[in-house]
Amino acid sequence: MKDIVTIFVTDLEGTEHEIQAPTDMNLNLMEAMKANELSVKATCGGMAMCATCNIRVQSDHELPEMSEDEEAMLDEAFVLDIEGSRLSCQIPVSEKIDGLRVQLGELTGE
């Protein structure tokens, strides 16, 4: 069991950040990014109701499938059709995402 995972996040300015997140604190990726002082708006706080924590997944990690809510929200925010588009609040921090590479989406800094 890996207690701490590493994630690579490219921010809106194009800078890559290497962040660490614990797997035993019931965090999601949005929270882990905020905890590392990355600027993510995340208006609704993690309910898949706003799309301001959107990301593009760039590595080929196996992630939990999109819920209907997440898919509809991404669609309503006009970003569903973009490759790798997800809401970071819907991705739990677990050892499955160790080494994940993501890029912050345009809505995170609206």
- Single out the segment in contact with another protein by CB under 8 A; choices: 5-13, 19-27, 67-75, 88-96: 67-75
Binding mask 11-50 for another protein (x = CB under 8 A): ----------------------------x-x-xx--x-xx
73 lines the binding site for another protein (CB under 8 A):
yes
67 lines the binding site for another protein (CB under 8 A):
no
Match 């760039």 to its residue by tokens. 58
Amino acid at 57: V
Radius of gyration of the chain (CA): 13
Sheet holding 16-22, edge to edge: 16-22, 4-10, 101-104, 54-57, 85-87
- If binding means CB under 8 A, how many residues of this protein chain bind another protein? 19
